[in-house]
Amino acid sequence: MDTNIFAKSSPIVGFEIREAEEMRRFREAEKWRFQKARKISVAEYKKEFPGYPLFSPYGYRIDGGKIDDYADRIKRGIKNGMHTGECPAYLYGANRLYAELCPSEIIEDIEIKARFDETGGTLDEEAKDEIWQFCEKWNEKNRFQYFVENWGVVVLLQDTREVFMNSEECYSE
């Protein structure tokens, strides 16, 4: 008996099966992340993380100024019994990161490319110090911040906090 479920299916049917399996895995991972995360309200998030954006479970960024509009949209959807896949009743927080030069990675890269590991050589201390000084100056002048999802913080949108704190369902269908 052929155990490959895709062996006799058309490409479209096979795609639909794979897509359904991916969605099931996404929902399982989403439920696990939701259960493990610290849950806070929009007001608590704004106070603790001023100016930080939020992210939907689907990875869409919602900048700070649009949080209230997004929350109102969710409340209207819940009130009217309408939920779209793009309208979860919660969002993820954000972590602020900085893009900057890392001197230790630059030194390591130089030593790997020069194959110092095979010859036993290394950059001298003066060269390493120059790299460190250059990176520090460059980072002071040029580093920039960016935000990524923080799955450790779930922001429950207003009027949904109690429902979702006590519910198995953690995402919209």
Q: Given this model, what pLDDT does residue 164 score?
A: 44
Q: Given this model, what pLDDT does residue 96 score?
A: 93
Instruction: Map residue 150 onto helix, strand or coil.
Output: strand
Nearest-CA neighbor of 135 among 95, 172, 166, 106? 106
Cα–Cα distance, 115 to 109 (Å, whole number): 10
Q: Given this model, what pLDDT does residue 147 score?
A: 94
Q: Given this model, what pLDDT does residue 91 score?
A: 87
* Average pLDDT per consecutive 10 residues, the chain (173 residues; last block may be shorter): 43 65 85 91 90 84 74 69 61 91 91 71 88 94 91 79 44 39
- Residue for token pair 């001197």: 103
Question: In b/e form, how buried is each residue of 121-136, taking b as 16+ CB within 10 angstroms?
Answer: eeeeeeebeebeeebe
- Going by C-beta distance under 8 Å and a sequence separation of 6 or more, which residues neighbour residue 101? 134, 135, 138, 139
Q: Given this model, what pLDDT does residue 159 score?
A: 55
Which pTM value belongs to this model? 0.60
Q: Kindly tell me the sign of the dihedral angle through the C-alpha atoms of 28, 32, 33, 35.
A: positive
Question: Helix, strand, coil % (nearest 5) of the chain?
Answer: 50, 20, 30
Q: Given this model, what pLDDT does residue 132 score?
A: 95
Q: Given this model, what pLDDT does residue 152 score?
A: 94
